[in-house]
Amino acid sequence: MPERRYRVLFVASHPVQYQAPLFRRMAEHPSVDVQVAYCTLRGAEAGHDPEFGANIQWDVPLLDGYSWTHVPNRGSGAESFFGLFNPGLWKLIRGGEYDAVVSYVGYVRASFWVALASAKLSKAAFIFGTDAVSLTPRDGPAWKSKVKRFLWPRLFRLADQVIAPSSGTRDLMLTLNVAPDHVTRIPYVVDNDWWIQKSAQVDRTAVRAGWGAAPDTLAILFCAKLQPWKRPLDLLRAFARANLSNAILVFAGEGPLRSLIESEAASLGVASRVRFLGFLNQTQLPAVYTSADLLVLPSAYDAFGVVVNEAMSCGCAVAVSDRVGAGRDL
């Protein structure tokens, strides 16, 4: 008698370079029949990323190696509740005979509630989670933390299982009285083999020469969106204060703080030792990690920080703040 295959539907807002390898690996498992429903195709298709402040299309395959479907978005596409509204999820889930529906769409989007209602009525297990490690909002008013403290215990009771990508998230769930056996830790991962292979192909001397860095120069790397909560200005000011005699600071990323960082570097007198690489696509990153000596992620809030996985796979040392989830787990 053939082994039963469990039908699992993942509902995702858009293709993500960190999730695609996981979907491919699960699709290879003989006991799981995996399908992914995308609410938009942003990332696989060119589109504007408001946090990068640029048009983004990832240069690695995001839709190969697993079964997926695109459910049309009837919402505005804005960062709002009805910005992501995919009523087609109802028909897909109700008619799909799934054993489980896993939502990677957050509860602040209408499509989450469409998926929840249709899964419950279909008697499918509904699984979702959060990557938060604190009730304190990343940005916005402090009263939101009080709302979350009231709302989240009730919200997570709707899940048949809660996914926690870090130890910090799991601890937060337990403080909200979510039962320990109701929380499963599934860490954020990258395809280590891909990063190691690409790193081995890097001409480190040539890349560093492009930065104006001699072999004995200390190259400190910041690789993230240039957003306030990533604290790039903290790193710049610390670099200036340390006044290292033979070091450069490399910013890989784009965002609204770019011009402020540039002007601050000039006012601190370190502009000649600071490099701005702008937005780098996925295939460009192994060269940067491999050629740097130290990745620094000083975030005030970073649920995990997958750049830590990437840098470590390329042999780069890492220093992170105590607000970065990966610091504890990796």
Q: For position 156, what pLDDT does the model report?
A: 92
Which residue ranges form the domains of the chain, and what is each CATH number?
A: 6-185 (3.40.50.2000), 192-329 (3.40.50.2000)
Taking only the tens place, the pLDDT of each residue in 251-266 is 999 999 999 999 999 9
State both tokens at 295.
Answer: 């990745």
pLDDT of residue 245: 87
pLDDT mean over 214-231? 95
Span 157-183, average pLDDT: 92
What is the pLDDT at residue 51?
61
Burial zone of 305 (CB within 10 Å; 0-12 exposed, 13-18 middle, 19+ buried): buried
The end-to-end CA distance of the chain, in Å, is 42
Residue 140's pLDDT is: 67
The residue that leads in pLDDT, 49 or 35, is 35
Tell me: the pLDDT tens digits for 67-118?
A: 999 999 998 877 888 899 999 999 999 998 999 999 999 999 999 999 999 9
Q: What is the average pLDDT across 220-242?
A: 97
> pLDDT value at position 43?
76
pLDDT at 46: 65
pLDDT at 235 over 80: yes
Which tens digits make up the pLDDT trace of 296-311? 999 998 888 999 999 9
Distance CA 156, CA 2 (A): 35
Q: Bridge partners of 317?
A: 294
d(CA 306, CA 283): 15
Report the half-sphere exposure of 315 (CA within 13 A, side-chain side): 11
